[in-house]
Structure 1
């Protein structure tokens, strides 16, 4: 696995001493959100890419596209009792899967300015919420982001995007010519996968999801019996002009019934 860049975080005390806005709810329902912390954060201030790091439930494979990402990590102490928490980033809901010990790590390519991270319980209550501020003015907000998440940790679901110029962004070719592509190509089972671009080409986009196979401690497999649910529920969210006054979102729920399912989720013009 190639090392990935961990965005440096100012200590909480320093964030408060600068007088910058910061908000964090007290943890509830046995949920702790450790990072990112509120306050001012500058991408690339300290390069920790050489540090050994493991993700939960399993390490993602870095295909060279995941740059300028921020780690969202925490602990759900009620993990053995309920496994349907939701991670909401800037209003975008994603299924939050986690390891047997309740720990989770997820990445997000934040744009500059104010961002919100929230963990919701299975009944929709807010368990923990923080306000995260990315102070790097060169970290532009995406004009187009497409997020795919699903509710089965054992499933490996792939996001496929066809762009107006005929390019195909997916796990084997995540980077688009001209910039953008799959910022988070999740290959460890839990998702999410994200397509992000700050300068999308104008024309028709086509969004597909594919139930590629399953993932376990023994590796990848195509054994339907390892599936724990008869139907895997996939949520695909389209975000236009994220974190700006022009922002709008569309969400789609797509059922996947068998390995190999390939579904056209949405075709749209940008």
Structure 2
């Protein structure tokens, strides 16, 4: 298990290095809060063929985990000294704590649906640093009818999202793709998430959302030793979004305390009616 985490960390480090190299040197020096995706629109090619999708603005496609056609949200923030408070990334109304590297850079994945999408960056005091909105015009993309987003407030801790579907499917880090079309986002092992589950054609029936406190990150990798804990209680923020980017959209947000390694908490059970 520890070897799996270290392997994921190595892969992610290489990806973030490549993403940082892809941005212009001037942008890195200036530290633009939000570099991409930028405002504009996307002209669709084939939704499952990254080589044939044409963009009207800079964007990085990534295909990790169970979701496809995701885009990295990238930028660089000026580091705030002498404070433990963190900036906030708000994507389509979903707020998540945003942790950066020592140079202030960050890269976070998101699977944007068709239609209007928004990204907002706020500093630790809640002031808006930058806001952008763009339109995803690829009509071959299908809206997520159920989306579950997990983020947390300790970059030295690893939390895992688990979703159980009506047909008995169990989406988690070891099984990110389900036969029913549901997909779990990249297993975030770089601190504070987000981890995300999406399904575009949800089966009717009961869904169960769990969060597991997997371990802590320290020298040499992840640890199951409570002595490596960075804070006594980790706050997990779970947002459920139903019928995203439609007139029927609704969301529910829960804050759940995670107190010790191994905690497995049932956050929410809900029933999806047939259409």
Asked whether the two chains share a fold, i.e. TM above 0.5, the reply is yes
* CA distance in 2 between partners of 1:253 and 1:244 (Å): 25
Structure 1, gaps ≥5 residues long: 7-29, 49-59
SS class of match (2:185): strand
* CA distance in 2 between partners of 1:120 and 1:241 (Å): 26
Matched, 1:156 2:175: no
Which of residues 194, 197, 210 in structure 2 aligns to 1:195? 197
Preserved CA contact (<8 Å) 2:145 2:202: yes
Which of residues 93, 102, 105 in structure 2 aligns to 1:103? 105
Deviation at 1:47, TM superposition (A): 7.3
Higher helix share: 2
Matching of residues 1-270 of structure 1 within 5 Å: 1=11, 32-42=33-43, 44=49, 46=51, 62-63=64-65, 65-82=66-83, 83-216=85-218, 218-270=220-272
- Alpha carbons of 1:181 and 1:61: their partners in 2 closer, same or farther (altered >3 Å)? closer
* CA distance in 2 between partners of 1:161 and 1:182 (Å): 9
Deviation at 1:217, TM superposition (A): 5.4
SS class of match (2:227): helix
* CA distance in 2 between partners of 1:201 and 1:81 (Å): 49
Preserved CA contact (<8 Å) 1:87 1:117: yes
SS class of match (2:112): coil
Preserved CA contact (<8 Å) 2:76 2:104: yes
* CA distance in 2 between partners of 1:100 and 1:47 (Å): 36
Preserved CA contact (<8 Å) 1:79 1:102: no
Preserved CA contact (<8 Å) 1:161 1:205: yes
* CA distance in 1 between partners of 2:237 and 2:258 (Å): 11
Deviation at 1:61, TM superposition (A): 10
Alpha-carbon RMSD:
2.6
SS class of match (2:161): strand
Counterpart residue number, 1:16: none
Preserved CA contact (<8 Å) 1:31 1:127: no
SS class of match (1:34): coil
Aligned residues: 235
Task: Give the stretch that moved more between structures: 116-125 or 245-254.
Answer: 116-125
* CA distance in 2 between partners of 1:74 and 1:176 (Å): 32
- Alpha carbons of 1:177 and 1:209: their partners in 2 closer, same or farther (altered >3 Å)? same
- Alpha carbons of 1:150 and 1:35: their partners in 2 closer, same or farther (altered >3 Å)? same
Deviations 1:110-158 (A, max 9, x none): 0011100001122222121101221211111100000000000011100
SS class of match (1:225): helix
* CA distance in 1 between partners of 2:251 and 2:149 (Å): 11
